[in-house]
Homo-oligomer: A and B are copies of this chain.
Amino acid sequence: MSTLVALGSAVDSAQVVGNMLGVFAFGVSGALLAVRRGFDVVGIAALAIATATGGGVIRDLIIGETPPSAFVNLRYVVAALLAAVLIFFWHPPTRVIRTPLYTADAFGLGIFCVTGTVTAFQHGLSAPSSAALGLVTAVGGGIIRDVLAGVTPSVLSDGELYAVPALLGSAATATLLYFGQYTYWTGGLAGAGAVGLRLLALWRHWHAPRARPHRRRNAE
């Protein structure tokens, strides 16, 4: 802890607030996927907690911060449980669950790519390494959620852009940190930009190109 880079108490408070919001958003996405898969209330709670805390646990293991904060400070588990309870009692019909699921996930993604990058930078990682770890933090919870639920992870095959908004948000945050311009506001802007870009990609169906399918040999 003595090697932490000080960024001021306003940034520290923003980290806590951001992480709680991100945890809640990912918790909602995990609970919604569990409802869609027909899991019972325990499964809904378990998938909400795993999704909400998974990215942060991976981040903390990678920077060597053990035990990970999700195990030290149980408020994150409580926030994820609140999300699970909320969704257990109040959720849309299964066939239209995709939109709220992806929207909640977009907020978790955009928030965690910023806070994950900041945490990595505070622990002394270089700006590029911090951006890489921010990206992993952002996509980690969703990967755990999708693998546990038996769904192909969004980061691999979502149709719309998923990793790109998170990467841009992480890179922007790392750049701000490197040049000493990271504040409550610029960080919030980076996160909002990542969330907005993901939602825009969903709304406008922006796809990344696929590999050429080699039809030549089959064509005649």
Interface residues of A (CB under 8 A from B): 34-35, 37-44, 46-47, 57, 61-64, 66-68, 71-72, 74, 77, 87-88, 91-94, 125, 128-129, 132-133, 143, 147-150, 152-153, 155-157, 161-164, 207-211, 213-214, 217-218
Contact = CB atoms under 8 A, between A and B. Distances in A.
Across chains A and B, which 5 residue pairs bring their CB atoms closest together, nearest first?
A64-B66, A40-B208, A43-B156, A93-B214, A42-B208
Contacts of A35: 211
Given A40-B209, A157-B38, A61 B66 contact: yes
Nearest to A207: B40
Given A41-B210, A64-B67, A147 B149 contact: no
Nearest to A87: B211
A201 B169 CA distance: 46
Contacts of A40: 157, 207-210
Given A35-B211, A71-B133, A72-B125, 5 more contacts: A37-B156, A39-B157, A39-B210, A47-B156, A148-B153
Nearest to A218: B93
B57 A62 contact: yes
Nearest to A91: B211
Given A128-B74, A157-B38, A163-B46, A63 B66 contact: yes
Contacts of A61: 61-62, 66
A94 B212 CA distance: 10
Contact of A42 (B38, B77, B129, B162): B162
A132 B214 contact: no
